[in-house]
Amino acid sequence: MDIDPRRLRVLLAIARTGGVLAAADELGITASAVSQQLNKLEEETGHALVVRTPKGSVLTPAGLAVAEAGEEIERALSVARARIEGGAKIAGVVRVGGFTSFVRTVVIPRLPEWRTQYPQLQIRIVEDDFPALMRLLRQRQLDAVVVELDSTTAAQRSLSAGMTEEPLLDEPWKLVVPSGALLTTENIDLARLPLPWLGVEPTAANAAVLGRLRQSTGAQMDTAHQYQETLTALALVAAGEGIAIVPTLALSGVSHDGVDVLDVPGLGTRRIVLRRFDRRRSASMPVDTVARLLRESAAAFDTRSAS
C-alpha cells in the first residue's frame, strides 16, 4: 500500500471536524480539494475511508486505521519539531471547562501523565453545567469547554460567531431501572414502563432525550423528582423511585448495586464535543496541545469501553 502521507492531514481534519466542509475550513482549502485528496487516498489504500451521513462524515474501520497512522506521524513530527527548535517547550495556562463524568473519567486520570509530558503547561479544570460553561467560554474566561449533546438533536444548537465545535466521543444512552423491575428486557416499550421517569436538569443532554421520546411516542411520560448528578439518579432508581436515561461514561467506575443497566434501541447516543474560539493557530500552541490531549484521551476511553 503506497500512500502519500501528505493526504493524511485531510483525513485527520475530516475525522476531527466531522465533515468535508468543516475540514476545508480547518485546512484553509476548498471543499473540492478536500474531496479530491480523500478520493486519491481511498484509491491508494484500496478502501473506502469515509461514509457520508446526514449528520456528517464518519470514518470507516479502514479510515480509523489510516487516521491512527496519521496521528502517529503527526506526533512524531511534533517531537522532531521540538528537537529542531532546540527542545522548545509547550508553556502556558489553559483553562478547560467540562461536565462531571468527562472530567472525572477522561481528564483527571491523565493529568499526572500530561504534567510529566508538558511540565511547563498548566491545565486548569473548571467543572460546571452546560449554561455556565458556555457563558464562561463566550466571556473568554475559559479557553475551551467539553459539553454533552443528544446526538439526534445536536444539529438544532447554533454556535456563536467564531466558535468551533469538534467531536470527541459518541456513546450510547443506557436505560437504568431497579433490579428485576422488568420481567423481560426484550422489545421494551419506552412509553409504557412500570415506573415514572426521573426528571433531570432541563439543560442536560438526557433531558433532550426525554423530550425526543415524548415526541416520537406521543406519550406523556411524566417525571418524578429531579436530579443533577448520576449518583443521585442511581440512588433514586435503586430505591424504586423511577427509571432514568444515563450515558455510558457516567456509569464508569460507580456502583450499579440495585439497578439494571440496559441497552435499548431508540435511545440514541450522547455526543461529547470540544468547543472553543480561534482554532486556527500553530499546532504547538498550548490550547491546541490540550485539545489534542483531550482527543487522544477520549479515543483511548472509547477503545477501552468497546473492548
Q: What is the reported pLDDT for 53?
A: 83
Rounded Cα distance between 98 and 107, Å, is 9
Q: Collapsing DSSP states into helix, strand and coil, what is residue 23?
A: helix
Rounded Cα distance between 30 and 174, Å, is 40
Residues (pLDDT < 50) of the chain are 86-87, 281-284
Q: What is the reported pLDDT for 283?
A: 47
Backbone angles phi, psi at 145, to 5 degrees: -135, 145
Cell of 69: 497512522
Q: What is the reported pLDDT for 98?
A: 96
What's the pLDDT tens digit per position in 96-116?
999 999 999 999 999 999 988
Q: What is the dihedral of CA 143, 278, 78, 64, to 10 degrees?
A: 90
Continuous H helices in 141-247:
205-217, 230-238
Q: What is the reported pLDDT for 157?
A: 63
Q: What is the reported pLDDT for 81?
A: 64
